[in-house]
């Protein structure tokens, strides 16, 4: 009998919404229930391309805006063979940011349209579920100051939030908006229940392609 494929689960959201916290907890819970699961994050700073991106985010280097956009996308594409292999083997992938961050962050820069920003990621493995952790700027501020990295300012984050809202209008993607202002445990329960449903549904469906009509 062919093994059932794993699900591609993505967490998105603004800075300090709890994406990394919740990805870790979700992976732990799925592991405890005997589900094959692995966590991934984008950017994946461990590859050669990821190191260029990391140095840019840390403001140790400057890159032209289109160039860095394409590097973020290339950093996803270089991991696609591995992602597909894992999913086909039945491993569920829990991913901290994906192409939606790519499109939202670059299109928040002057002179970029959302449609152009989406193009390099068209055809990536399509997530079975994208959970958007929704948190107001005031509540995010209660979770600490912005860090030192590029993009960590309130003006830019507000522009990014608006771009995410535009992306969420696309009904070809299975979006779930999660209230990220609750306790870590409550947010986790909500996320875990959406994930269980997505894993069950994905088992019987082929893996799709992001932002295509197929
Ligand atoms: P992100 O990856 O979205 O930027 P993190 O998971 O790193 O967010 O969380 C940002 C900060 O907020 C961390 O200090 C984390 O401990 C804290 N945090 C995460 N989730 C919650 C929550 N539900 N309630 C209060 N604080 C939280
Ligand atoms: N980011 C992330 C982008 O600008 N484009 C992308 O494609 C992705 C995946 O990189 F500011 C930005 C979003 C954020 C930074 O920060 C990554 P974390 O703390 O590693 O998630
Ligand atoms: Mg994080």
Q: Please give the pLDDT value at position 155.
A: 93
Q: Which residues pair with 40 in a beta bridge?
A: 95
Residue-wise pLDDT tens digits, 17-61: 999 999 999 999 999 999 999 999 999 999 999 999 999 999 999
132 close to ligand 2 (CB < 6 Angstrom): no
Query: Is the pLDDT at 129 greater than 60, yes or no?
Result: yes
Q: Find out whether 113 and 124 touch, Cβ atoms under 8 Å.
A: no
Query: Is the pLDDT at 172 greater than 90, yes or no?
Result: yes
Task: Report the share of the chain in percent with pLDDT over 70.
Answer: 99
Residue identifier of the C-alpha nearest atom 26 of ligand 1? 143
Give the pair of three-digit tokens for residue 54. Answer: 């990391």
Mean pLDDT of 61-74: 98
Query: Is the pLDDT at 3 greater than 90, yes or no?
Result: no
Give the pair of three-digit tokens for residue 15. Answer: 């800075």
In the sheet with 8-13, reading across from the earlier edge strand, the strands are 37-41, 92-96, 8-13, 129-134, 175-179
Centroid of ligand 2 to alpha carbon of 43 (angstroms): 6
Residue 68 to residues 15, 55, 91: CA-CA distances in angstroms?
Answer: 19, 11, 30
Residue identifier of the C-alpha nearest atom 20 of ligand 2? 43
Residue identifier of the C-alpha nearest atom 16 of ligand 1? 21
Spatial separation of the C-alpha atoms in residues 98 and 72, rounded to whole Å: 9
Q: Please give the pLDDT value at position 2.
A: 64
Q: Which residues pair with 131 in a beta bridge?
A: 11, 176
Least confident interval from 140-149, 160-169, 171-180: 140-149
Q: What's the mean pLDDT when you consider all of the chain?
A: 96
User: Please, what is the Cα angle at 120 between 117 and 124, to 5 degrees?
Assistant: 120
Q: What is the DSSP letter of 126?
A: P
Q: 């600490």: which residue's tokens? A: 144
Spatial separation of the C-alpha atoms in residues 196 and 34, rounded to whole Å: 13
25 close to ligand 1 (CB < 6 Angstrom): no
Spatial separation of the C-alpha atoms in residues 11 and 18, rounded to whole Å: 9
151 close to ligand 2 (CB < 6 Angstrom): yes
Spatial separation of the C-alpha atoms in residues 147 and 6, rounded to whole Å: 34
Mean pLDDT of 96-100: 99
Atom of ligand 2 nearest to the CA of 151: 11
Residue identifier of the C-alpha nearest atom 11 of ligand 2? 151
Spatial separation of the C-alpha atoms in residues 138 and 156, rounded to whole Å: 15
pLDDT band at 141 (very low <50, low <70, confident <90, very high): confident
pLDDT band at 214 (very low <50, low <70, confident <90, very high): low
SS percent in the chain: helix, strand, coil, step 5 = 50, 15, 40
Centroid of ligand 3 to alpha carbon of 16 (angstroms): 7
Q: Could you tell me where the beta strands, DSSP code E, fall in the chain? A: 8-13, 37-41, 92-96, 129-134, 175-179
């Amino acid at each position: 009998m062919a093994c059932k494929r794993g699900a591609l689960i993505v967490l998105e959201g603004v800075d300090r919404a709890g994406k990394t916290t919740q990805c870790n907890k979700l992976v732990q819970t799925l592991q405890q229930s005997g589900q094959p699961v692995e966590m991934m994050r984008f950017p994946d700073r461990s590859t050669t391309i990821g190191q260029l991106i990391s140095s840019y985010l840390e403001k140790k280097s400057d890159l032209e805006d289109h160039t860095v956009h394409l590097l973020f996308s290339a950093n996803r594409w270089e991991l696609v063979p591995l992602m597909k292999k894992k999913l086909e083997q039945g491993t569920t992938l829990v991913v901290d940011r994906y192409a939606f961050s790519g499109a939202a962050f670059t299109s928040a820069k002057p002179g970029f349209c959302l449609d152009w920003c989406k193009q390099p990621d068209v055809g990536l493995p399509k997530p079975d579920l994208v959970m958007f952790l929704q948190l107001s700027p005031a509540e995010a501020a209660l979770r600490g100051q912005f860090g030192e990295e590029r993009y960590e300012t309130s003006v830019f984050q507000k522009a990014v939030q608006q771009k995410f809202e535009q992306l969420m209008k696309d009904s070809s993607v299975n979006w779930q908006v999660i209230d990220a202002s609750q306790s870590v445990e409550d947010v986790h329960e909500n996320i875990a229940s959406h994930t269980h449903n997505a894993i069950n549904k994905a088992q019987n469906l082929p893996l799709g392609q992001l932002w295509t009509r197929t």
